Structure 1
Amino acid sequence: MPHRPQSHRLRHGRHSENGRAYLITTVVYRRRPLFSDWRLGRLVVAELKRAQDCGQVESLAWVLMPDHLHWLLQLEKATLPQVVQAVKSRSTRQINRRLGSDGPFWQSGYHDRAVRDGEDLQHIARYIVANPLRAGLVKKVGDYPLWDACWL
């Protein structure tokens, strides 16, 4: 049975709170492993940096896997839907321009989890950046080109 995206089932009307940390996961359309080309991934990284430079978020940790993004952020001067939509929209334009294509790049929707007060952000960040290890893509985190954490 073919995999069918379930992003339409993600909740609408999210509540977001400035100053709170969130773990975001968003997936490439049809789970195409396009970030195997790290140059395409760097276009997304530029948009994550832009969101931070604009004061919308403090980016705590992220990893771009071949077909999805995990991003731990602290929301600052925007709502969660505004931030995610802007990053996805701008990165789609940049990647489509690079590939000479058009149309969707990301699946619609995203998964978010608000981090509870008292949860260890560094523990969550370590889990995020270790994704390439668990997936068997590299033998050491430092060998993977598409990750960062503010504690390192």
Structure 2
Amino acid sequence: MPHRSGHKALRTGRVSLPSQVYLLTVVTQRRRKLFADAAMAAAASRFMVHPDCWGDAQLLAWVLMPDHWHGLVQLGYRDDLSLVMNRMKAVVSRKLGLEHGPGTIWARGFHDRAMRQEDDLRAAARYIVANPVRAGMVSHACDYPYWDCVWL
């Protein structure tokens, strides 16, 4: 099998299973730190929790970092993973464009990892929301404003 790199490699072996939970990562175009700007991060955070982003999928936990987003998403029965993620990126980009001017927000593609039955979803959620702590941005996750989790 030939070696694949870049965007195509992200899709290799990807499957979308109804009710499956996925750990997801999306980066900004050219890893620009767009969300280091508080107004941009607050707006993006507000838009990405809107039901228009998710269809019948459920956003369980997420954090928006200066140049990327991590989330824990449970698929519904209607939409596949690529559709859900492309819709989230499109909705957030469109709404940010209306408030902050047009421009490319997200890089193509996304990284996904299907969570196994034996994985602890709450531990995965804690890992996600602790990203700003590990990055040295804050001392405690609760000091960082751009995250949420259904298990609060």
TM-score per shorter chain, which class? 0.7 to 0.9
TM-aligned CA deviation for residue 87 of structure 1? 0.6
How far did 1:45 drift? Answer: 2.8
Which amino acid letter does the alignment assign opposite residue 40 of structure 1?
Answer: M
Does structure 1 conserve the Cα–Cα contact (< 8 Å) formed by 2:34 and 2:66? yes
SS of the aligned residue for 1:112 comes to strand
Stretches of structure 2 that go unaligned for 5 or more consecutive residues are none
Q: Distance in 2 between matches of 1:82 and 1:132?
A: 28
Match of 1:44, as an amino acid?
A
Aligned to 1:117: 117
Q: After TM superposition, give the deviation of residue 100 of structure 1 in Å.
A: 1.9
Instruction: Indicate the RMSD between aligned Cα atoms, in angstroms.
Output: 2.1
The TM-score with structure 1 as length reference comes to 0.86
Contact 1:132 1:141 in 2 (8 A): yes
Tell me how far apart the structure 1 counterparts of residues 15 and 28 of structure 2 sit (CA, whole Å).
24
Query: Which letter does structure 2 place at the counterpart of 1:88?
Result: K
5 Å-filtered alignment, 1:1-152, equals 6-12=6-12, 14-51=14-51, 55-76=55-76, 77-102=78-103, 104-152=104-152
Give the counterpart letter for 2:79 in structure 1.
Answer: A
Q: What is the aligned residue count?
A: 147
* Distance in 1 separating the partners of 2:98 and 2:131: 28
Instruction: State the TM-score, normalized to the length of structure 2.
Output: 0.86
CA distance change for structure 1 residues 126 and 30 in 2, over 3 Å: closer, same or farther? Answer: same
Cα 1:54–1:122, aligned 2, differ >3 Å: closer, same or farther?
closer
1:96 and 1:87 map into 2 onto residues whose CA distance is: 14
